[in-house]
Amino acid sequence: MVFRKPPDGGWGWVIVVVSFFTQFLCYGSPLAVGVLYLEWLDAFGEGKGKTAWVGSLANGIGLLASPVCSICVSSFGARPVAIFSGFMVAGGLMMSSFAPNIYFLYVSYGIVVGLGCGLLYTATVTITCQYFDKRRGLALGLISTGSSVGLFIYAALQRELIELYGLDGCLLIVGALSLNILACGSLMRPLEPSSSPPPEKTCVEKLPDQYFVYHEKEKTVEENISILEKGYIDEKCVNNVPDCKQESILNKNVLSSININEKDTYKKKVVEQTNFCKQLAKRKWQLYLTYWKETMVLFKNKVFSALFVAILLFDIGGFPPSLLMEDVARSANISEDDYYMPLISIIGIMTTVGKLVLGILADFKWVNTLYLYVTTLLMTGVALFAIPFAKSYLTLAMLSGILGFLTGNWSIFPYVTTKTVGIEKLTHAYGILMFFAGLGNSLGPPIVGWFYDWTQEYDTAFYFSGFCVLLGGFLLLLAALPCWNACTNQSSKLPPNTYSYKVASNA
């Protein structure tokens, strides 16, 4: 299906609003899971690394399943996927309130809620990119702030609900709030296809229509013959009973010959259906091979290859603070009287600011979005190295704000991906990149938790996290250097709709 030109407005702004609230409702609790993390540590008495798997799965499993999520959105559309995923998120949160152990939470909160969030994220990003072109950076920045605002509000909301109703009551209420995703999903009207005539069907695509036309014609003829025969026999029986007996004998002979013809016709149908199934299987196999060929072509782009390594290392090192910062403060023996605001809430509000600012910057022609993204990675690595030296609430709050602002680079990541591979391959490439991002999200917090279990302090863990993020940033910067232009500018060797990311002032 060929979509018409993105309107860059109109109903697109409604899509931005409902996508904002969708991400607010689905990601609010998983991103603010640090508040629940402390309660689960006390409730189940498991190690920090083992307990951290719950939050890391909730934030990583949806990204790990991004290729599947992309296929679902491409096959069924954003609206049905959003409505179905709303039930998944709400159901998973409510089921988690009855969790008897940490392993139950792995499934209910980690897998069910995480997969629902992944489907919703892919649906909102895809439909927003379809509605916007020139203002895509602003639109993506606006919708991505929904998760950050959700982190800011849900961090305080879940803390208050736990004090009033306990952990189980908190999860039930948060799950009920997530049902509002259904209303948001119903407003995700798909972009109308273009008025240009569709391409002519291939022989394989025409085969089902031809078969059904033949089948309907044959069925109509058989029905007409049976009706005429029945009317003729009834008329004979009314007028002359002896003749009726003779006719019945003759009709038996005729029916026996008809049965032979029916067997031949049935055999022809079986052969046709067998050929159709073979052609269909062959076509599906060709599509499967085409998918992997396109994937290999994507990885021939040096910037894309470096991008997937950078996003993997960034999520291994950059995600743990949003989950474990509250426990870092508790491990540093910071008094609760010094808390003016939860550190997770600071991360959330500054992530909102970062997404908006970085999203707006990405729309300026003089800003190179790839260099902007690399800068955020390098600064994040430096901030992670500084966490072990923070021993007061003020320093931890400042670092939380810096990390939150830099984490706002998620708003420009789809923009960078689109500029790298083109809008036509966005869903395919973005699904692959989000798979590696989910792998990093799933591994990061447990690794940091295991470092603490082994060393009884977070210093070594955050040194490791900072090194991972810096390594990814330097690799991406190396791939984007102008010295690679001689290799990456050979666009003629790339298939249509795919081009290399030129590091220029007008990117």
Q: Which of 311, 298, 406 has its CA nearest to residue 354?
A: 406
- By CB atoms closer than 10 A (0-12, 13-18, 19+), residue 42 is exposed
Backbone angles phi, psi at 364, to 5 degrees: -75, 135
- Whether 438 contacts 60, CB under 8 Å: yes
String of DSSP letters for 51-92:
HHHHHHHHHHHHHHTHHHHHHHHHHH-HHHHHHHHHHHHHHH
Q: For each of the chain's 507 residues, which pLDDT tens digit applies? A: 455 666 777 888 899 999 999 999 998 888 888 888 888 988 888 888 888 889 888 888 877 777 788 788 888 888 999 999 999 999 999 999 999 999 999 999 999 999 999 899 889 988 888 888 777 767 877 887 788 788 888 988 998 899 899 999 999 999 999 999 999 999 988 876 655 554 444 444 444 444 444 344 444 444 444 544 444 444 444 444 445 445 555 555 555 555 556 656 656 666 667 666 767 666 766 666 776 677 777 777 777 788 888 888 898 888 777 777 877 887 777 766 666 777 888 888 888 888 788 878 887 878 888 888 889 999 999 999 998 888 888 888 899 899 989 988 877 887 788 777 776 676 677 777 877 887 887 888 888 888 888 888 888 888 988 899 999 889 888 887 765 554 444 443 444 443 333 333 333
Q: What is the pLDDT at residue 389?
A: 87
Q: What is the pLDDT at residue 502?
A: 39
| Amino acid sitting at position 81 | V
- Whether 101 contacts 37, CB under 8 Å: no
Q: Which of 357, 353, 480 has its CA nearest to residue 420?
A: 480
Q: What is the pLDDT at residue 276?
A: 67
What residues form DSSP beta bridges with 193? Answer: 3
CATH architecture, domain defined by 1-194: Up-down Bundle (1.20)
Alpha carbon distance 92, 399 (integer Å): 33
Q: Dmax over Cα atoms in the chain, in whole Å?
A: 112
Alpha carbon distance 290, 444 (integer Å): 33
The residues near 370 (Cβ < 8 Å, ≥ 6 apart) are 303, 416, 419, 420, 476, 480, 501, 503, 507
The token pair that represents 245 in the structure block = 């007996």
The token pair that represents 143 in the structure block = 């919708």
Q: What is the pLDDT at residue 361?
A: 86
1-194 and 301-484 share one fold: yes
Annotated domain spans of the chain: 1-194, 301-484
Q: What is the pLDDT at residue 171?
A: 94
The residues near 418 (Cβ < 8 Å, ≥ 6 apart) are 129, 136, 426
Report the half-sphere exposure of 265 (CA within 13 A, side-chain side): 13
Whole-angstrom CA distances from 6 to 126, 130, 353, 440 are: 12, 6, 27, 33
Q: What is the pLDDT at residue 75?
A: 83
* CATH 1.20.1250.20 corresponds to the domain 301-484: yes
